[in-house]
């Protein structure tokens, strides 16, 4: 059966090469990828809502009293599935995709296609304070990667189709095709050219049609802009941009801080219990942190903060505007904590929609404060709710264009375009100057594995350093004599460098042919001179596991050396020559840019 499937595939590929050009085939694949990404997004949404409806129905009428149990139960189910069924650790979708693009030529495992589709609904449905967009993008990217491999697409096409999957997922979730396209360009560092533009557009359109087919006209946010841009409100847009910038910095630092705290616990069950109980406590006191929080945003957009805040365990007069402001600000603070705790405890989800929830609460807080200061100025609370979302997306994800186009498409209006640009630009600028990398990119950037729009930097990141290590150097021991060095190494090697190692293959130094040229024919020194007396320290050493290509380039630049020794697991491994490194770099650059 397997061989017959391969034969069918080979026949199809031969037929395709004869009848369909590569350009047209890529367009067809982008439509397919968009459809499958849209299908995945629809499945995630419907399955999560079904699970939430079951938990909130009369079947489990005691749910509100057991917020402590439900998150732990959901995380335990996810833990059990990952350990015994999938046998794979949960990783954040976008960083995993970025790593795949940088170091694996966009190749992703089959399991990553369905892994998030099963675990994310359980995490969110049982109260995990994360989003579904990240898993939708991750699933679509894995599907597109495997489709590319199946049809023998090259690396560049595979990366483009992964971008199409991301564009399709966002387009299907928000019904915003332009935002999906811009997200793929901003976050995955795709080049927006005529070659990439059409596939991205087709994938977005295909995904949004799929969403309309299964969900009809249903949209996440039902809102229409009634109050247009006023030049007199500009100072308040600037104020909101500054506020969302600092909130973005808080969001990012809180994320890494909580993750560091949980990483202290090596036992995953301990993380699960501590995280699950913490989430349960937060949900008990702030029920709005339950799940994604889309209903919360919708209520704020309709200026109904009482419904948005919902029931609390205490008799708090939410009609009092300053109490409402305090509660909304509490949501702004604790959404980041609840989201990160869900991840750290072993949950599966994304950060995009929690970012929007936090931004909507902050934007609403700012508008309410302005309206109730008694200075005679009134601003639109709904508009500021939208602007707050844009500011947080721009600041947390460093994706200002995505935030602008997303909110503009959500409102089906460009009336807020100028306020969106002001808020997003200020938030992005301040956040980027303080936090150079996002939750998505920090770990990869620190390892020198992050793809960016800087082509030189990207090509360096794509280089496989181990592939250019030369290992045909003859090692010598420090106690060997000059005679042994000449007969056992120099005479048998076409190299002019000889690494000196100990009995455990640890690098002690190097001997250069130039250093012994003057004495190599002096037979009086053959027995009395040892390698240890002749060797020198290497000007620099390359650590294969730690040093990225950019670091290697800097070491060559700083030392002026033409060859540098390489260590692997702290043992001598070989040498890298500057000439070979530059040759491979130039070849990679030509292939990347053509």
Q: For the purposes of burial, counting CB atoms within 10 Å of the CB of 304, is it exposed (0-12), middle (13-18) or buried (19 or more)?
A: exposed
Per-residue pLDDT tens digits for 175-185? 888 999 999 88
Cβ contacts of 578 within 8 Å, gap of 6 or more:
556, 561, 562, 563
Rounded to 10 deg, the angle between the 93-103 and 133-150 helix axes is 30
Backbone angles phi, psi at 57, to 5 degrees: -85, -175
Q: What is the pLDDT of residue 51?
A: 86
Q: What is the pLDDT of residue 172?
A: 92
Per-residue pLDDT tens digits for 52-87? 887 766 444 445 556 677 888 888 999 999 888 877
Q: Are strands 563-568 and 571-577 parallel, antiparallel or unpaired?
A: antiparallel
DSSP notation for 113-135? HHHHHHHHHHHHHTT---BSHHH
**Side-by-side strand order, sheet with 571-577:** 542-543, 563-568, 571-577
Name the region of 175 (left: φ>0; alpha: ψ -120 to 50; beta: rest).
left
Q: What is the pLDDT of residue 17?
A: 82
Residue 431 has pLDDT above 50, yes or no: yes
Instruction: Give the H or E element holding residue 572.
Output: strand 571-577
Q: What percent of the chain has pLDDT over 90?
A: 36
515-537 mean pLDDT: 87
Tell me how far apart the alpha carbons of residues 490 and 483 are, in angstroms, rounded to a whole number. Answer: 10
Cβ contacts of 87 within 8 Å, gap of 6 or more:
none
Per-residue pLDDT tens digits for 235-255? 999 999 999 999 999 999 999
Q: 568 in helix, strand or coil?
A: strand
Residue 459 has pLDDT above 90, yes or no: no
Residue 452 has pLDDT above 60, yes or no: no
Dihedral sign for Cα 319, 321, 325, 330, please.
negative
Tell me how far apart the alpha carbons of residues 553 and 574 are, in angstroms, rounded to a whole number. Answer: 17
Instruction: Give the alpha-carbon dihedral of 231, 235, 236, 241, to 10 degrees.
Output: 110
Cβ contacts of 275 within 8 Å, gap of 6 or more:
75, 262, 341, 342, 344, 345, 346, 347
Angle at 134 between CA 333 and CA 284, to 5 degrees: 35
Task: Locate 426 and state its tokens.
Answer: 């200020």
Q: What is the pLDDT of residue 340?
A: 93
Q: What is the pLDDT of residue 447?
A: 64
Q: For the purposes of burial, counting CB atoms within 10 Å of the CB of 5, is it exposed (0-12), middle (13-18) or buried (19 or more)?
A: exposed
155-183 mean pLDDT: 91
Residue 512 has pLDDT above 70, yes or no: yes
Q: What is the pLDDT of residue 593?
A: 53
Residue 505 has pLDDT above 70, yes or no: yes
Per-residue pLDDT tens digits for 214-234? 887 666 666 666 677 778 889
Residue in the block written with tokens 């399709």 = 168
Q: What is the pLDDT of residue 352?
A: 92
Q: What is the pLDDT of residue 251?
A: 94
400-410 mean pLDDT: 91
| Short-list 251, 179, 237, CA closest to 411 | 179
**Range with the lowest mean pLDDT among 277-281, 314-318, 370-374, 491-495?**
314-318
Q: Which residue has the higher pLDDT, 485 or 1?
A: 485
Q: 530 in helix, strand or coil?
A: strand
Q: What is the pLDDT of residue 355?
A: 94
Dihedral sign for Cα 337, 343, 349, 352, please.
positive
Tell me how far apart the alpha carbons of residues 506 and 569 are, in angstroms, rounded to a whole number. Answer: 10
Cβ contacts of 537 within 8 Å, gap of 6 or more:
509, 510
| Domains (range + CATH), the chain | 2-215 (1.10.3080.10), 231-452 (1.10.3080.10), 458-593 (3.10.580.10)
Residue 423 has pLDDT above 90, yes or no: yes
Residue 391 has pLDDT above 50, yes or no: yes
Per-residue pLDDT tens digits for 275-334? 888 888 888 888 888 888 888 888 888 888 888 787 766 666 667 888 889 889 999 999
Per-residue pLDDT tens digits for 128-157? 889 899 999 999 999 999 999 888 888 888
Angle at 10 between CA 5 and CA 11, to 5 degrees: 100
Task: Locate 282 and state its tokens.
Answer: 């937060």
Tell me how far apart the alpha carbons of residues 291 and 120 are, in angstroms, rounded to a whole number. Answer: 11
Residue in the block written with tokens 């945003």 = 297
Instruction: Give the alpha-carbon dihedral of 293, 294, 299, 301, to 10 degrees.
Output: 120
Instruction: Give the alpha-carbon dihedral of 166, 168, 173, 179, to 10 degrees.
Output: 80
435-452 mean pLDDT: 73
């Amino acid at each position: 059966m397997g061989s017959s499937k391969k034969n069918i595939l080979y026949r199809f590929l031969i037929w395709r090469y004869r009848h369909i050009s590569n350009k047209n085939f890529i367009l067809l694949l982008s439509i397919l990828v968009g459809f499958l990404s849209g299908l995945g997004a629809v499945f995630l949404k419907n399955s999560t809502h079904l699970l939430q409806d079951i938990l909130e129905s009369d079947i489990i009428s005691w749910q509100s009293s057991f917020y402590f149990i439900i998150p732990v139960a959901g995380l335990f189910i996810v833990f059990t599935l990952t350990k015994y069924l999938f046998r794979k650790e949960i990783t954040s979708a976008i960083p995993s995709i970025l790593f795949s693009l940088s170091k694996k030529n966009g190749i992703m495992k089959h399991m990553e296609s369905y892994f998030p589709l099963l675990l994310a609904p359980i995490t969110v449905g049982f109260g995990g304070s994360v989003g579904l967009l990240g898993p939708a993008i991750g699933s679509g990217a894995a599907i597109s990667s495997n489709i590319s491999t199946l049809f023998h697409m090259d690396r560049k096409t595979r990366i483009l189709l992964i971008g199409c999957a991301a564009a399709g997922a966002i387009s299907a979730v928000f019904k915003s095709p332009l935002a999906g396209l811009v997200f793929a360009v901003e976050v995955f560092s795709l080049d927006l050219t005529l070659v990439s533009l059409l596939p991205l557009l087709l994938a977005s359109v295909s995904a949004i049609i799929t969403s309309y087919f299964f969900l009809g006209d249903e949209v996440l946010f039902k809102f229409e802009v009634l109050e247009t841009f006023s030049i007199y409100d500009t100072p308040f847009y600037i104020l909101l941009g500054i506020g969302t910038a600092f909130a973005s910095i808080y969001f990012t630092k809180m994320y890494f801080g909580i993750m560091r705290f949980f990483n202290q616990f090596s036992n995953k069950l301990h993380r699960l219990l501590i995280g699950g109980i913490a989430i349960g406590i937060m949900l008990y006191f702030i029920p709005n942190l339950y799940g994604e929080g889309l209903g919360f945003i919708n209520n704020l957009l309709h200026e109904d903060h009482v419904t948005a805040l919902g029931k609390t365990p205490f008799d708090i007069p939410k009609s009092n505007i300053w109490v409402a402001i305090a509660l909304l600000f509490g949501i702004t603070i604790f959404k980041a904590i609840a989201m990160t705790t869900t991840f750290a405890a072993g949950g599966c989800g994304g950060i995009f929609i929690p970012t929007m929830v936090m931004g909507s609460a902050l934007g609403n807080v700012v508008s309410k404060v302005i309206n109730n200061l008694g200075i005679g100025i009134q601003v639109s609370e709904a508009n500021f709710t939208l602007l707050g979302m844009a500011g947080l997306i721009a600041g947390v994800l460093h994706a200002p264009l995505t935030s602008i186009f997303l909110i503009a498409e959500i409102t089906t209006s460009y009336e807020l375009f100028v306020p969106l640009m002001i808020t997003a630009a200020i938030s992005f600028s301040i956040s980027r100057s303080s936090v150079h990398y996002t939750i998505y990119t920090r770990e990869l950037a620190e390892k020198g594995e992050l793809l960016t729009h800087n082509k030189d930097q990207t090509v360096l990141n794509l280089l496989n350093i181990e592939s250019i290590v030369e290992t045909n150097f003859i090692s010598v021991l420090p106690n060997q004599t000059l005679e042994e060095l000449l007969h056992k190494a120099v005479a048998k090697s076409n190299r002019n460098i000889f690494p000196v190692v100990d009995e455990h293959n640890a690098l002690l130094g190097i001997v250069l042919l130039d250093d012994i040229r003057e004495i190599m024919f002096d037979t009086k020194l053959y027995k009395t001179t040892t390698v240890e007396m002749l060797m020198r320290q290497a000007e620099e050493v390359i650590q294969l596991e730690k040093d990225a290509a950019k670091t290697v380039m800097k070491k060559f630049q700083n030392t002026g050396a033409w060859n540098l020794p390489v260590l692997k697991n702290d043992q001598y491994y070989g040498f890298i020559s500057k000439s070979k490194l530059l040759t491979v770099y130039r070849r990679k650059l030509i292939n990347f840019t053509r």
